[in-house]
Amino acid sequence: MSERKDSCDVVVVGLGATAGIAVGPLTQAGLKVVALEAGGRHDGDSRYVADEIGNDVRNEWGMSKTNLEVPTLRGSEDDTAAPPFARMPMINVVGGSALHSTSVYYRLFPWHFRERTETIERYGKDHLPEGSSVQDWPFGYDELEPFYTKVEELLGVSGKAGNLNGEIVPGGNPFEGPRSKEYPLPPLRQTGFAEMMGRAATDLGLHPYTGAAGIRSQPYKGLNECTYCGFCSFGDCWRGAKGVTSLSGIPEAEASGNLDVRLQSRVVSVETRADGRATGVTYVREGKEYFQPASAVILSTFTYENVRLMMLSKNEHHPGGIGNSRDQLGRNLHLHNLVIVRGLFEGQELNNNGGTAAQTSTIDDWDGDNFDHSGLGFIGGTSMTAVVETKPISLARVVPGHVPRWGSEWKSYLKENGRSIGELILQIEQIPYTEHRVDLDPTAKDPYGMPINRTTTRHRESDYKAFDFLTEKGRDWLKAAGASETWVPEMYGMLSVQPHCYGATRMGEDPAESVIDASARVHDAPNIAVLCSCTMPTAGGRNPTLTAQALAWRTAEKLVEDWDEVAG
């Protein structure tokens, strides 16, 4: 029997990158919020600073939960799912996996919000990849713009505007949607390699800019700036220079007296009543079970755990799980096809080991609909970033296919060329299919005996076409900068478990094709809101966190606006 806690207005499941934003507007409106977080607090310790083995290899921060419930993977409904060989770790800590994110902070383009309609209007209905379930968002870029700006100002995002209120501004990204304000901080410093790649892009007639980063280029609101150490991705920031909600957002909410944070608290189900609405959540802390009653519930873990919890919460009111009355829960999953294109710059010392992968030269000439897709057989594309931050273990993996992966010949190649390899990161947009989904694995369980997720997804013909076209553009860029040889490592095919994971609780007007409404509340349980990239109908070829956070802010404001109806 679970112990009943005192009732609150809103209970938040997972106090990470999105909930850390949402608790601001909620607590400012005077709502009493309880946040249940499976991990602990970071507290500025230095255990995992500059620690490739502790972070990238072992994911020490994920030991309490995410490492124990890595979803299984299969290509189609006819296959048996197996543990993924490659995965990109998530962590459990106040502030969430953003604490170990690369923190590239791009907005989506207006096109991404109308991807289906725009594609049909420009190319005709036949251009949509066969069988895809891609939909427009229930609102446009203009609706989200004020929230993008609010998040950027709260966290201290660094960048240079390319489009201010419709005016194209030199030095920024000319393809971006209109911004209402300049970034609060100037861009991060470019590295020598980024400058070199930027010049080559300009020579090719492309439009390079320094990518926006959720990393402070200068001190901001009493918080530190980046020192370019080179261990951002999957790593802890030794200076607390990342724009994370554990430093901005959560502290203010706690200071209001309206936020009660409970750590090491693992939510096991959402409870509902006869009309389908949530009454609160059941959670386990130190082996003991509690019930937290609440007028509204926010599910703000990541895609995988949000879906898992909604499925595990099935009861007589929600026999297929919460939000699953029309078999939409977990469907329309889409990821990024994360690809690295490498080039050898013979005899050059690129000095790419230090710095952050957010110190980029970026081009968006090949993302969204910024190029003519006629006859190409795919839609969307990718941001393309020339990056640094090559950590030593990953540096040793980079050899081209014709070089052995071990032995004396391998050593000789690394000795000769280890300092001369430059790379681009591509995050190619995939589009949703109904069959691509997250559900519960029929046999695999976590150490507590609860089913873990199973994902079903595979590359489609359009994905191969996009890959071929876009990696060729990447090779062209590297060659223009002087690369004598270019190659694409084996990472292609990485349909895996990764932090760029979208859909699965898709937002939409039509309950037959979505799980949550335009306010991000579950169609069949309207006092449950969902945060995270799992709500996004399209991904773009761009990092998810900023958009997920802008949505979180908007969702929280909508909850406050509609509070009487939500809490009723």
CB nearer to another protein: pick between 51 and 441? 51
Across 18-34, b (16+ Cβ under 10 Å) vs e yields bbbbbbbbbbebebbbb
Q: How big is the chain by its Cα radius of gyration, in Å?
A: 23
CB nearer to another protein: pick between 113 and 220? 220
Return phi, psi of residue 416, to 5°.
-70, -40
Residue 204's CB is within 10 A of a number of other CB atoms, namely 17
User: What's the closest the beta carbon of residue 479 comes to another protein, in angstroms?
Assistant: 17
Binding site residues, another protein, CB under 8 A: 46, 49-53, 57, 85, 189, 191-193, 195-196, 227-231, 238, 348-351, 353-355, 359, 388, 392-393, 395-397, 405-408, 411-412, 414-415, 418-419
User: What's the closest the beta carbon of residue 400 comes to another protein, in angstroms?
Assistant: 15
Q: Say whether 471 sits in a helix, a strand or coil.
A: helix
CB nearer to another protein: pick between 174 and 192? 192
Q: Where are the alpha helices (DSSP H) in 6-130?
A: 19-28, 110-113, 115-123
CB nearer to another protein: pick between 232 and 384? 232
User: What's the closest the beta carbon of residue 434 comes to another protein, in angstroms?
Assistant: 32
Query: From CA 95, how far away is CA 532, in angstroms rounded?
Result: 13
CB nearer to another protein: pick between 221 and 411? 411
Return phi, psi of residue 518, to 5°.
-65, -15
User: What's the closest the beta carbon of residue 406 comes to another protein, in angstroms?
Assistant: 4
Nearest to 538 by CA among 431, 427, 439, 447: 431
Nearest to 215 by CA among 240, 251, 194, 192: 240
User: What's the closest the beta carbon of residue 414 comes to another protein, in angstroms?
Assistant: 5
Structure tokens at 239: 């200076």
Helix (H) or strand (E) holding 470: helix 461-480
CB nearer to another protein: pick between 208 and 380? 208
User: What's the closest the beta carbon of residue 183 comes to another protein, in angstroms?
Assistant: 21
User: What's the closest the beta carbon of residue 193 comes to another protein, in angstroms?
Assistant: 6
User: What's the closest the beta carbon of residue 388 comes to another protein, in angstroms?
Assistant: 7
CB nearer to another protein: pick between 27 and 190? 190
Helix (H) or strand (E) holding 337: strand 334-344
CB nearer to another protein: pick between 227 and 374? 227
Q: Which residues pair with 33 in a beta bridge?
A: 10, 259
